[in-house]
């Protein structure tokens, strides 16, 4: 008699899970991994405000302020209540107009922006 072990296929990773992994990679300084994870979110990620906000943060890592602003504005078009994008745009304008900001860059995984459980 033969015994076969059936291993279930892993479920497709959710956009939320990709978001969390990308935030973690970015916080560890692994920008390339974070970029790869975000790219894997595909079209679904392009319509998710938190992913768009994170794309803005990644653009900022390359000093591409124009692209960062564009992504944060896209995030707010998708979800007007996206706190991380609001904070980042406010920070952007403060830095531009005043030369400083007291706000830190918001990736979106901060406790005040809790997304909840899967």
The domain spans of the chain are: 15-113
- Give, for 81, the enclosing helix (H) or strand (E): none
- Check: CB of residue 88 under 8 Å from CB of residue 56: yes
Q: What is the pTM of this model?
A: 0.85
How far apart are alpha carbons 88 and 96 in whole angstroms?
A: 12
How far apart are alpha carbons 29 and 24 in whole angstroms?
A: 9
Encode the chain (118 residues) as per-residue pLDDT tens digits. Answer: 556 555 544 556 899 999 999 999 999 999 999 999 999 998 888 899 999 999 999 999 999 999 999 999 999 999 999 999 999 999 999 999 999 999 999 999 999 998 654 3
Tokens representing 106?
A: 């918001």
How far apart are alpha carbons 75 and 86 in whole angstroms?
A: 9
CATH number of 15-113: 1.25.40.10
The count of other CB atoms within 10 Å of the CB of residue 94 is 14
């Amino acid at each position: 008699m033969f015994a076969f072990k059936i291993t279930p296929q892993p479920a497709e990773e959710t956009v939320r899970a990709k978001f969390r992994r990308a935030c973690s990679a970015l916080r560890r300084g692994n920008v390339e991994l974070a970029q790869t994870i975000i790219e894997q979110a595909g079209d679904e990620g392009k319509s998710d405000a938190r992913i768009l906000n994170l794309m803005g943060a990644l653009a900022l890592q390359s000093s591409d302020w124009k692209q960062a602003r564009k992504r944060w504005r896209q995030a707010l078009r998708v979800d007007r209540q996206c706190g991380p994008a609001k904070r980042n745009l406010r920070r952007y304008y403060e830095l531009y107009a005043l030369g400083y900001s007291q706000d830190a860059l918001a990736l979106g995984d901060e406790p005040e922006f809790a997304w909840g459980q899967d």
